[in-house]
């Protein structure tokens, strides 16, 4: 599923919403009706993920899906895109369908996406420069995704500020 502007974020987010709908309503008639589409959507995400299980992507987004999530034409392995894909797959594992088992059983396929996201975040943080926080401590902020520079910083000539933090916030 895609909407205007070529964004590619919606499939995981929609699957997450459908799974949440079922968790709240337990509407089994609805689940039976939409199960074929949910399975097709889950398979789409899993196939997209499989295309990125390449050795040349080790340390650079192995197993993560890439896509456009904002206005710039720069599809990359973003944490937001993969986080929604993971949530969508996990929630579809909760939706019962006709016959035995859930729409997409939770297990190693979904679990390995979580592991790949966590590993990518750890690698991202290890390469990120530390930035100051308003309380005087420092931390490494993650970039929005892989193959991206870490969070940018603005400077007023004396101190560095990031993500809209202003000098007024610091004594």
The rounded distance, in Å, linking the Cα atoms of 58 and 152 is 24
Mean pLDDT score, 24-50: 90
**Same-domain status, 21 and 86:** yes
Same domain as 133, residue 122 = no
Q: Which domain holds residue 147?
A: 128-171
Domain shared by 167 and 90, yes or no = no
Residues 13 and 82 in one domain: yes
The pLDDT tens digits of the residues spanning 59-80 come to 788 999 998 776 667 678 888 8
Task: Report CA-CA distances (Å) from 150 to 96, 123, 130, 159, 162.
Answer: 41, 11, 9, 18, 11
Q: How many domains does the chain have?
A: 2
Mean residue pLDDT of the chain comes to: 77
Q: 153 and 93: one domain?
A: no
Whether 136 and 122 map to the same domain: the answer is: no
CA distance 53 to 89: 17
Q: Does residue 30 sit in the same domain as residue 87? A: yes
Higher-pLDDT residue of 54 and 170 is 54
Which of 107, 127, 147 terminates a domain? The answer is 127
Q: Is the pLDDT of residue 110 over 80?
A: no
For residue 148, the model assigns a pLDDT of 54
- Residue 28 scores a pLDDT above 80: yes
Sign of CA dihedral 2, 44, 146, 105: positive
pLDDT at 97: 55
Give the pair of three-digit tokens for residue 111.
């679990």
Task: Give CA–CA dist 98/53, Å, rounded.
Answer: 32
- Are residues 90 and 136 located together in one domain of the fold? no
Distance CA 92, CA 43 (A): 11
151 and 161 fall within a common domain: yes
Give percent above pLDDT 70 in the chain: 69
Both 83 and 151 in a single domain? no
Q: Collapsing DSSP states into helix, strand and coil, what is residue 161?
A: strand
The answer on pLDDT for 122 being more than 80 is yes
Query: pLDDT tens digits for 43-53?
Result: 999 999 999 99
Residues 155 and 118 in one domain: no
Confidence category of residue 4, pLDDT binned at 50, 70, 90:
low
Report how far apart, in Å, the C-alpha atoms of 44 and of each of 100, 114, 124, 147, 153 are. 22, 17, 26, 24, 37
Q: Are residues 43 and 121 in the same domain?
A: yes
What is the pLDDT, as a whole number, of residue 86?
Answer: 93
Task: Copy the structure tokens of residue 130.
Answer: 């530390």
User: What digits encode the pLDDT tens for the residues 124-158?
Assistant: 888 888 888 899 999 888 877 776 555 544 444 55
CA distance 167 to 57: 39
Q: Would you say residue 2 has pLDDT above 60?
A: no
List helix spans (H) across the chain: 10-25, 28-51, 79-92, 108-127
């Amino acid at each position: 599923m895609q909407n205007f502007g070529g964004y590619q974020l919606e499939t995981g987010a929609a699957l997450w919403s459908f799974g949440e709908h079922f968790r709240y309503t337990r509407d089994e008639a609805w689940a039976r009706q939409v199960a074929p589409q949910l399975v097709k959507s889950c398979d789409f995400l899993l196939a997209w993920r499989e295309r990125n299980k390449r050795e040349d992507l080790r340390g650079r987004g192995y197993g993560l899906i890439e896509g456009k999530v904002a206005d710039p034409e720069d599809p990359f392995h973003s944490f937001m895109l993969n986080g929604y894909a993971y949530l969508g797959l996990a929630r579809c594992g909760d939706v019962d369908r006709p016959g035995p088992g859930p729409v997409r059983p939770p297990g190693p396929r979904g679990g390995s996406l979580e592991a790949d996201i966590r590993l990518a975040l750890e690698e991202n943080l290890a390469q990120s420069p530390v930035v100051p926080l308003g309380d005087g401590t420092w931390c490494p902020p993650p970039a929005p995704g892989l193959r991206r520079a870490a969070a940018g910083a603005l400077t007023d000539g004396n101190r560095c500020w990031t993500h809209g933090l202003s000098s007024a916030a610091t004594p």
